[in-house]
Structure 1
Amino acid sequence: MKMYQVDAFTTQLFKGNPAAVIILEDWLDEALMQHIALENNLSETAFVKKNTLNNYDIRWFTPTDEVPFCGHATLASAFILFQQIEGLEYIEFETQQLGTFYIRQKNEKIVMNFPILKAHPLLDYPKTLESAFNIPFKAVYLNDQAYVVEYENAQQVLDVQPDFFKLKEVSIDSKRIYGKTRDIVITAPGKDHYDCISRYFAPAIGVNEDPVTGSIHTAVIPLWSERLEKDLITAYQASSRGGWLYGEILPNDRIEISGQAKLYMVADIHI
């Protein structure tokens, strides 16, 4: 079985967020897909099942769990399909919880059309969140995926030293409050060549700090688009690897998030 490893949201190898991509004719057993994701030990392994030339089902697994949405592994999957299938002009990815994602290529970028998953202000947030960071924050928001923690400036986001044990406690405790775990993203207005900056933490699903998180930018980019009164937003995720995302707000609560990718590895899995 062929597997590809792609660095997403970057133009350089060893930057961005690595994802594994496996393209299937039929689904594997769920337990086997989870074992493969654990063996890969990447933040995400994407499994893509072909329906037609342009239409595919897609699922994403961390080393410990299947997740409802992953942006960087969607980008990586589209990157491989566009490379492998000559003349492929667009892709439709069917998801289990968020409907159809529409993917195209433009000016060397892969453009992904997602629903906006807006974050709303949260006044009654877990107090453990305050002690989990060494720098006080400005405000907290919540969407279906994560607590969105706002800082005053980019340097604070860069300087934050998270307590991953406390963040894991916050994530797990959110299941008691809201019925599902929530990750944590910190964000602030950008500087220099980007409009906003972020870092993303998901210790409850085996990923202390995610290198670049496309999915949460369906909340982060709309937040800063509204604040900065701009429909086009350049976002930087400031992990040790770093990555760039380009967002455009569309009508009907949709967003286009674009990025580039680099192929790192092609492998054969023996199962």
Structure 2
Amino acid sequence: MKMYQVDAFTKELFKGNPAAVLVLDEWLDEQLMQNIAAENNLAETAFVKRIDTENYEIRWFTPKVEVDFCGHATLASAFVLFQFFTELKEFIFHVKNLGQFIIRQDTDGKITMNFPIRPVSTLENYPALLNEVIDRPIQDVYINEQAYILVLESEQDVIEAIPNLENIRKIQLDSLQNEALDTKICLDVTITSLSQKYDYVSRYFAPLIGIDEDPVTGSMHTGLAPFWAEKLAKRQLVGYQASERGGELYSEILENQRIEISGYAKLFMQAEIEV
């Protein structure tokens, strides 16, 4: 069975966020897909099922669980489809509970993905433990359906912050039992600030689902980019995820609670797996 590994949100190998991609005619057994993701031990393994030449379904697995949305593995999957499976420059991913993602590729290779916005709101009564998830002071706390969003004073604070992964795990576990939250989901932690070179920078931590620090988290920018867009009074932004590998994301806020997030990708590996 053919598998590809792609570095997403970068033009350079060994940067951005690596994801594995398998393109299927029919879904594999769910446990087998989870086992493949665990064996890969990447932040995400994406499985894409063909519907026809213009439509595909997509699912994403971390080494521990299936997740409902992953931006960088969507970009990696789109890159593989454009490179090896279709001559079209636009197609649609169909996603359970999230609807349709319209995907297109520009002539320079940049891939643009149309996603739903995940709105951010202020969180005044937040868990006290959030003050102890990094070694830097927090200015403000926000939340969306994916994560707690901690705004720091400076770009340097975001870059240099040391996470307390055990406390982040506790925060994630507590979010599953927090009666004040509308839904019982595992909330991750992201830190962010304004930037001099970019519009904003961020980092992302999700140790409970097997990702201590995610190199680049496309899904989180469906909340971060609109958040900073409102503060900066801009519709087009460039964000940088300041992990060790790093990655650049280009965003444009659209109407009807939609956002386009764009980026580049680089093929690292093609392989045959024996399953």
SS in 2 for 1:26: coil
Name 1:169's counterpart in structure 2: 170
- Aligned partner letter, 1:182: L
Structure 1 CA distance, aligned partners of 2:74 and 2:248? 15
Name 2:191's counterpart in structure 1: 186
Structure 1 position 88, deviation (Å): 1.2
Name 2:59's counterpart in structure 1: 59
Paired residues of 2:25 and 2:50 also in contact (CA < 8 A) = yes
Structure 2 CA distance, aligned partners of 1:133 and 1:139? 14
Structure 2 CA distance, aligned partners of 1:124 and 1:54? 46
Q: Deviations over 1:9-67 (max 9, x none)?
A: 00000000000000000000100000000000000000000001010000000000000
Structure 2 CA distance, aligned partners of 1:127 and 1:65? 28
Structure 1 CA distance, aligned partners of 2:151 and 2:217? 16
Structure 2 CA distance, aligned partners of 1:150 and 1:86? 41
Q: Deviations over 1:110-159 (max 9, x none)?
A: 00000000111111111111012111111111111111111121011012
Name 1:207's counterpart in structure 2: 211
Structure 1 position 180, deviation (Å): 1.2
The match for 1:228 among 232, 239, 258 is 232
Structure 1 position 255, deviation (Å): 0.3
Structure 1 CA distance, aligned partners of 2:238 and 2:121? 21
Question: Taking structure 1 as the reference length, what is the TM-score of the superposition?
Answer: 0.98
SS in 2 for 1:204: helix
Paired residues of 2:7 and 2:18 also in contact (CA < 8 A) = yes
Q: What does 1:86-235 align with in structure 2 at a 5 Å threshold?
A: 86-106=86-106, 107-177=108-178, 178=181, 179-192=184-197, 194-235=198-239
Structure 1 CA distance, aligned partners of 2:243 and 2:25? 35
SS in 2 for 1:270: coil
Structure 2 CA distance, aligned partners of 1:269 and 1:128? 43
Name 1:2's counterpart in structure 2: 2
Structure 2 CA distance, aligned partners of 1:87 and 1:131? 50
2:255 matched to 1:243?
A: no
Paired residues of 2:53 and 2:86 also in contact (CA < 8 A) = no
Structure 1 position 86, deviation (Å): 4.3
- Aligned partner letter, 2:152: Y
Aligned residues: 270
SS in 1 for 2:11: coil
Q: What does 1:2-21 align with in structure 2 at a 5 Å threshold?
A: 2-21=2-21
Paired residues of 2:47 and 2:58 also in contact (CA < 8 A) = yes
* Cα root mean square deviation, aligned: 0.8
What are structure 1's unaligned runs of at least 5 residues?
A: none
What are structure 2's unaligned runs of at least 5 residues?
A: none
The match for 2:257 among 253, 258, 262 is 253
2:268 matched to 1:264?
A: yes
Structure 2 CA distance, aligned partners of 1:93 and 1:185? 26
